[in-house]
Amino acid sequence: MPKTIQWGILGTGWIASQFTKDLAFAENGVAAAVGSRTLDSASRFAADYGIGKAYGSYEELANDPDIDAIYVATPHPAHKENVLLCLKAGKAVLCEKPFTVNAGELEEAVSYAKENKVFLMEGMWTRFLPVIRKVREWLDEGRIGDVQLVKADFGFRAGVNPEGRLFNPSLGGGALLDAGIYPVSFASMIFGAEPEEVSSTAQIGSTGVDEQFSVLLSYGLGKTAQLNGAIRLNMDNEACIYGTEGYIRIPSFLNATRAALYVNGSEEIFEDDRTSLGYAFEAEEVARCLAEGRTESSVIPLEESVAIMKLLDRIRGQWGLRYPFE
């Protein structure tokens, strides 16, 4: 395996804790430092997860010479600024999804990374799960024939908190960026992120964010994707891929531990018995890329991330939904 990557954790919220806990399962990475807006928050996080260094500012973390890569785990609207801070310090960056709040912000970050040859990757952890890798193998082998239809849903029922990140427009709240990124990225993995036609509808809630949505993407030649997301509806969170010779079913696809392949009346099951949450796999991918001198991952290339963000912008535009900071 590549050398052990010294990770910096930028942010101390829930997703930062999930990623940091899972780094214990990575074969080539450890959490070496954490940065927060206050030293108190960083120190508590460091104590909780056995991290050696705690910084009371993001700048101090970015400028630590011993850190190889930084995981950006702040709220959506802060991603662009935080990513650029780390890139300009010469640090490899893994940014939690969604990469940014719109395509313009992401293009700015990607442009800097490419021009300065610094590693950058979207933290779409689903792509790196063993189950999803196996599904892609099945597809590449043509096991279900020509893929014609993708269906994917991700939704949960959260209590309305106007100040919380899910329901606050100023924090980029809403179902599309928080939940919808999963089914949209899943469809992109199979069909690409540039459909010929986009049709969508959304329920805008009392705080001004989309609480649920449905999207139909058409790619020509009969290929379509039916996607749903919600922050006020519990969904089955399943993905299905239908081809001319069979289909694949993935329960709880975003953190998948099982997939079933159905062809000619027979069933083939792939199961992942991991004890980790699943974030370690994306961390290992970053380490592999750095060891090979690559500045992006082929599993989720930067141009695809930009195309996905443009698609999210297009969908949101159909609802007339803009965030206050745009």
Cα angle for residues 145, 146, 152 (degrees, 5° grid): 100
Cα gap 178→173, rounded to integer Å: 7
- The pLDDT, as a whole number, for residue 324 is 95
Contacts of 186 (CB under 8 A, 6+ apart): 126, 150, 152, 227, 239, 253
Residue-wise pLDDT for 93-102, tens only, equals 999 999 999 9
Sequence-separated (6 or more) residues with CB below 8 Å from residue 115: none
CA distances from 192 to 169, 184, 237, 256 (A): 29, 10, 21, 21
Q: Mean pLDDT, the chain, as a whole number?
A: 97
**What is 147-203 written as a DSSP string?**
EEEEEEEEE-BPPP-TTSTTT-GGGT-SHIIIIIHHHHHHHHHHH-S--SEEEEEEE
268: β partners: 261
Residue-by-residue DSSP string for 215-277:
EEEE-STT-EEEEEEESBS-----EEEEESSEEEEETTGGG-SEEEEEETTEEEEEE---SS-
φ/ψ of 218, rounded to 5, equals: -115, 130
pLDDT in tens, 271-314: 999 999 999 999 999 999 999 999 999 999 999 999 999 999 99
Alpha-carbon span 188 to 86, nearest angstrom: 28
Mean pLDDT of 146-157: 98
Are 318 and 198 within 8 A, CB to CB?
yes
For 185-206, how does the pLDDT look when each residue is reduced to its tens digit (9 = 90+)? 999 999 999 999 999 999 999 9
